[in-house]
Amino acid sequence: MTAALSPSPSQAARLQVRAGQWAKPTAGLAPGFAQANLAILPKALADDFLLFCQRNPRACPLLGVSDVGQPHIPALGADLDLRTDLPLYRVWRDGQLVQECADLHAVWRDDLVSFAIGCSFSFDELLLDQGIDVRHMACGCNVPMYRTNIPTAPAGRFAGPMVVSMRPMQAADAIRAVQITSRFPAVHGAPVHLGDPAEIGITDLAHPDYGDAVPVRPGELPVFWACGVTPQAAIAAAGIEFCITHAPGHMLVTDVKTLSLAAF
């Protein structure tokens, strides 16, 4: 009799999701393992989307791309099944959200290509580990996100402004956060801006375009990172015929250790 290998925390998390036993956002699930944004597109659009990601690596850092029709990205988890392993998906038709579901078997097609894109959940964890206050986590809400006037480099039908997430910090923490996140280009890397929001076309920090507002305290700088919502916004703006994404906060848990993504 041989003992079965016990699954890693990330595998265990995916099995739990797959079995319908985790139907909520994945923040805090399998700490230390990278989570990913998901975008699934027909092959006819996937090539331009891959080019869009290549041209906008800060907003769309690719952790992996599937082969056509394959609901797997083995490099991110040998047993990973992209049709079942996220707690909630969004199905889009003609750029409109038409359905949320927890299983993609009914809508799966043989021409689909899946893109796993780095997610800032990973570096929030790293900042916290270094004693930096991550405001939206302290507040128990979603990170505030804003459309900017920073253009993305277009590719085919994909274009539009960069979306950024914002974390308010004391200057010393902002400097440390630049150092920490610079090590992780695969999860958006260094900030794209800090200080005056107007410089990147943000008029009111209290009214984010996505997510929740958080308080900015006296003496703090807002610090802005390129955000994984950028490709979703480009997908919606392009009004594309068919597309699947994760539902906000309901990410793909991978077997990749976040620390293994360090560039140095």
Which residues make up the interface to a copy of itself (CB under 8 A)? 47, 50-51, 53-55, 62, 65, 75, 153, 179, 182-183, 185, 189-190, 263-264
Minimum CB–partner distance for residue 156 and a copy of itself (Å): 8
Question: For residues 65 and 236, which CB has a smaller minimum distance to a copy of itself in the complex?
Answer: 65
Question: For residues 117 and 200, which CB has a smaller minimum distance to a copy of itself in the complex?
Answer: 117
Nearest to 232 by CA among 86, 9, 56, 111: 56
* Dihedral pair phi/psi, residue 178, rounded to 5°: -60, -45
Minimum CB–partner distance for residue 259 and a copy of itself (Å): 15
Question: For residues 18 and 188, which CB has a smaller minimum distance to a copy of itself in the complex?
Answer: 188
Minimum CB–partner distance for residue 153 and a copy of itself (Å): 7
Number of H helices, E strands in the chain: 6, 11
SS (H, E, C) 183-241: CCHHHCCCCCEECCHHHHCCCCCCCCCECCCCCCCCCEEEEEEECCHHHHHHHHHCCCC
Question: For residues 161 and 189, which CB has a smaller minimum distance to a copy of itself in the complex?
Answer: 189
Minimum CB–partner distance for residue 181 and a copy of itself (Å): 10
CB count in 10 Å sphere of residue 21: 9
Question: For residues 55 and 257, which CB has a smaller minimum distance to a copy of itself in the complex?
Answer: 55
What is the C-alpha to C-alpha distance for residues 73 and 83, in angstroms, rounded to an integer? Answer: 12
Minimum CB–partner distance for residue 95 and a copy of itself (Å): 23
